Structure 1
Amino acid sequence: MKSTFLTISQPARASYVIKKSKFIADIAPVSNAVAAKGMLAQLTAATPKANHHCYAYRLVENPPAERFSDDGEPVGTAGKPLLEILHHHQLENTLIVVTRYFGGIKLGAGGLIRAYAQAANVAVAQTTLCEKTLARQLTISLDYPQLNKLRSFLDQQQLPILKTTYTEQVTITTAVPVAQVSTFQARVTERLTGQAHYQLGAECYLTSPPQP
């Protein structure tokens, strides 16, 4: 799995009109090809009178995957420009679908490329970017008197508390960037004077604002 990548935090929609043709761009975060195809099918079904539903997506997979479609537009005038927008903004696990209602005036190949790219760029501007960092879930078991120390440390490190269980001891599940797991455990052990036990869990991604 990729250690870090840039994506979007929420779907967005934007529209662009030129020479009576209307281009509606939808951008959405997707985790895999099934999700991307499902979103495409949903948008297509919602606009049955549209002339074209062109799309592009990039996925963080092993190996990475990317797909695009002109959906009946001249080859290279729709899907590829959308894919280039994703590359330009370095977005992955992201789908762009641009729905076109033909206005009766042909735009030509260059006009189509510019129109699809413009609609996609406006949609990107309407959403919020975020960075995903590969992490491991880590469950920490400790005695109750140590709980506030651990919570304070997690807050300082801006790490989430995914789950808390109260039994004879407290167990807290967090997620730590893969590259920092060993260092994190050592620092927690030091703060809690050795009174903690750890269990590594599944890999996941942490979400944070993009780095400048």
Structure 2
Amino acid sequence: MIGVLVVDDDYRVARIHDNFVARVPGFTVVGVAHTGREAIAMAARLRPDLVLLDLYLPDIHGLDVINQLRVAGHDCDMLVISAAKEAAAIRTSVRQGAVNYLLKPFGFDDLRRRLERYAAQRAGLSLAAVQDQTDVDRMLASATSRMTATALPKGQSAETAALVERALRAADAGLSAAECADQVGISRVSARRYLEHLNETGHAEITLRYQATGRPERRYRWVG
């Protein structure tokens, strides 16, 4: 079982996240904290594998919690949850080792997919010993294949997902679903499904471009 420490200052939200985690096979909640200091103390005592960490805490910012845990020598992984949509917050979280970044509010399936992806990554990196580069390559290949199979929604292929990601990475100004479809060679509906999945998994952000008439155009930009 993967032990999870839930950290959120809102008691009601923390309880919801607690229930979400408990519904995912292979995961168990070992504790719930509502402040940064409480999270640090509970992490030291409970030794969770994963911390579901809100950034906006009443006493210490979530990124400072990560720093303090690392300085203290705790190697628990971090899945950041936040209402912050700024690219800087996402980049900083990733630089500090967050395994994922999930925007509030989110539903059960949003969290479940990320937890399953995390579990697949752990399983792929679980060799007891590494003898040579072959072992390293096998570990990384296993983690990648498991993550791809788990993370993609039913009906989406890893090959097409890679093409969509490549096109989005190369587009500094972002892409609409129609533009992405033209570049990749798939239908606009399919392109939008892949782009929406990238947004749901924290790899793309959406902006709206308002036009003179009709509905605003949804544009997607890679955020890593």
Return the TM-score normalized by structure 2: 0.24
Q: Quick check: which one's strand share is greater?
A: 1
- Which is higher, the Rg of structure 1 or of structure 2? 1
